[in-house]
Amino acid sequence: MKKNIGMALVLGGLAGLAIVLGLKVYHKSTDSVVVESRSGNQSADVAVAEGDERTLAEKEALQTPPKGASEAAKKAHFEKVIPLAVESDTLDIGKCIGKPVVLKVKAGTAFTVRNNDERDHTIQMSDKLQFIIPARGTKVITPEFDYGPGVYGYGCDNSQSAAGIFFVI
């Protein structure tokens, strides 16, 4: 009887470890949108980088409802994002932080991403949609937002933290 209980505890522990490691691998491999969009992807916590000057409201907007969240939670998040939306044709990236934090863009319209750092940055909008922005350079992009108007997140350099949000109209 004691052997069965001990074996069950060991197997349960191994199963738990496998689940945790599987989730880590999944999150590491997705490197996709970091704000829950209509595709259902979500972000990890927003990292606080040295020199991070984002406001509390901006940091809160980058915290997304978990997958399967209620419509009320999604609406509350959307309501945090909208007031921060800035319409512009340029997104600045510095230390993998997007400025503005929420860029308002029209679907199908090109905009410029300007890298203010001394090294290349990769902006990831999904597993398939990534753009390399050269150090101290710019790149004009016209991303395809698969689900039409809405809120889409993006990451930078395979980070698990959010870089910013696109509000597509």
Joined together, the tokens standing for residue 100 give 């503005």
Same domain, 66 and 21: no
Q: What was the pLDDT predicted at 159? A: 80
* Residue pointed to by tokens 């209980």: 5
Number of H helices, E strands in the chain: 3, 10
Q: What was the pLDDT predicted at 123? A: 94
Same domain, 149 and 67: yes
Q: What was the pLDDT predicted at 39? A: 34
Same domain, 133 and 65: yes
Give the range of the structural domain holding residue 114, as residue numbers without chain letter.
32-168
For every residue of 43-70, DSSP letters joined together read: --PPP--TT----HHHHHHTSPPPTT--
Q: What was the pLDDT predicted at 1? A: 57
- What's the pLDDT tens digit per position in 80-128? 999 999 999 999 999 999 999 999 999 999 999 999 999 999 999 877 8
- Single out the residue of 109, 113, 79, 73 nearest to residue 97, CA to CA: 113
Q: How many domains does the chain have?
A: 2
Same domain, 81 and 18: no
d(CA 38, CA 150) in angstroms, rounded, equals 8
Q: What was the pLDDT predicted at 50? A: 59
Same domain, 25 and 73: no
Q: Which residues of the chain have pLDDT under 70?
A: 1-51
Same domain, 19 and 77: no
Q: What was the pLDDT predicted at 129? A: 86
Largest distance between two CA atoms of the chain: 69
Gap between the terminal Cα atoms of the chain: 63
What's the CATH code of the domain at 125?
A: 2.60.40.420
